[in-house]
Amino acid sequence: VEFLYCDLASMKSIRQFVQQFRAKNCPLHVLVNNAGVMLVPERKTEDGFEEHFGLNYLGHFLLTNLLLDTLKQSGTHSQHARIITVSSATHYVGKLHLNDLQSRCSYSPHGAYAQSKLALVLFTYRLQHLLTANGSHVTANVVDPGVVNTELYKHVFWVVKVVKWMTAWLFFKTPEEGASTTIYAAVSPEMEGAGGCYLYNEERTESADVAYDEELQRRLWTESCKMVGISDEASRLP
């Protein structure tokens, strides 16, 4: 196991990480996008992005795009490279505000978090469409890990923390249980060559209806490219 530092809240750090990884000339067979914050007070990343959107979504968007060439070179017809992005059931209540992705007009920690998780689902579906159109041996899927007992809840109200402490053993998954669907998506033979899926409890299920809006997927992708400063070659594809 080797460790390379990468701060998903920093575009500079992401670019430096990718540069270091590429210098190793290693193949890349599995990429898991799993960093995140939840219900943080209104604040910005060093690049000026609202933190939920910047870290949970844009960081993964940039990282994935910068690693796509390596992933494409690593995948084969019989063994596709795999991209797994961790979203949340919260995306079902999320609304994507294309004119206010930074939640400047009216900030709500819950709304900002849900929007970032919906963006990850839209991103995954658009990415899979582009990978298929290019004939790439890479698949992209999105995972809902369920309610997991981790430090992600440290910004919730104290009452919720008390309830969580009292009921976690009954209602919350352990970190190991929460990781099971991600691991399934990463290594299961059943997922070989299968992309564009929303997975929960190691099963394919339906995501929010709005996530299947292809025009919304395209618009978010184009806007995301502008925000992180990369070329939007995908805009020329259907």
11-59 confidence digits (pLDDT tens): 999 999 999 999 999 999 999 999 888 878 899 999 999 999 999 999 9
The b-or-e profile of 117-153 (16+ CB within 10 A means b, else e) is bbbbbbbbbbbbbbbeeeebbbbbbbbbbbbbbeeeb
For the chain, the residue count is: 238
83-135 per-position pLDDT tens digit: 999 999 999 999 999 999 988 888 998 999 999 999 999 999 999 999 999 99
Show which residues are catalytic: 113
Structure tokens at 116: 């970032």
- The percent of residues in the chain predicted with pLDDT above 90, rounded, is 74
- The percent of residues in the chain predicted with pLDDT above 70, rounded, is 85
Decide if pLDDT at 235 tops 70: no
Other Cβ atoms closer than 10 A to 198 = 21
Torsion of CA 31, 140, 121, 222, to 10 degrees: 90
Decide if pLDDT at 165 tops 50: no
186-195 per-position pLDDT tens digit: 999 999 999 9
The third-level CATH classification (topology) of the domain covering 11-235 is Rossmann fold (3.40.50)
Q: What is the pTM of this model?
A: 0.88
Considering the chain, what is the average pLDDT of its residues?
Answer: 88
Per DSSP, the chain holds a count of helices (H) and strands (E) of 7, 5
